[in-house]
Amino acid sequence: MHRPLLEARRVDITTLAVDAIVNAANAGLLGGGGVDGAIHRAAGPQLLAACRTLGGCPTGEARLTAGYRLPARWVIHTVGPVWQGGSAGEADALARCYRNSLALAETLQLRTLAFPAISCGVYGYPWEAATAIAVREVRAQLPRTRTLRAVLFACFSAEMLALYERALAAPP
């Protein structure tokens, strides 16, 4: 049984040569701001065309497209919850984003996967809580994977990197 590498780095997710990157998408999957817009710009117009065929994606679920002009072969699109104060099921929805993205990666027999900080941009999820959920869910799913060898949390800022490093250093 292998133990996949789990790490955080301050890096632009659109530059990563991994099997798949996860896109923190909106429900329409038609691009937007933040990481979603950056991924769409880097992948090129074919990504938007492919997303239009998917019929959207409910919060917590995941959909797949090719990576097109990205170094990553695949893009797993997941829709995180909008923060509404914490009593509207946001934590469960965010956890499902990670579980469903990892399940899709396993179905594809991917070896390397990179996540952004889902829901931490315009969706307003508190960063510390979001990073704790991300690390908890990925750690819980990794022992069940057969093919994943490395999961990277791609951090957009030094502050986000510090939060992921703290969550990764905490005992499971």
Report the distance separating Cα 26 and Cα 119, nearest Å: 10
Report the distance separating Cα 132 and Cα 42, nearest Å: 29
Helices (H), 8-153: 34-43, 45-52, 90-107, 127-141
Confidence (pLDDT) at 93: 98
* Number of separate helices (H) and strands (E) present in the chain: 5, 6
Report the distance separating Cα 166 and Cα 172, nearest Å: 12
Q: What is the pLDDT along the chain (172 residues), one digit of tens a residue?
A: 467 799 999 999 999 999 999 999 999 998 888 999 999 999 999 999 999 999 999 999 999 999 999 999 999 999 999 999 999 999 999 999 999 999 999 999 999 999 999 999 999 999 999 999 999 999 999 888 899 999 999 999 999 999 999 999 998 8
What are the domain boundaries of the chain? Answer: 5-169
The CATH class that applies to domain 5-169 reads: alpha beta
Question: Which residues are the active-site residues?
Answer: 36
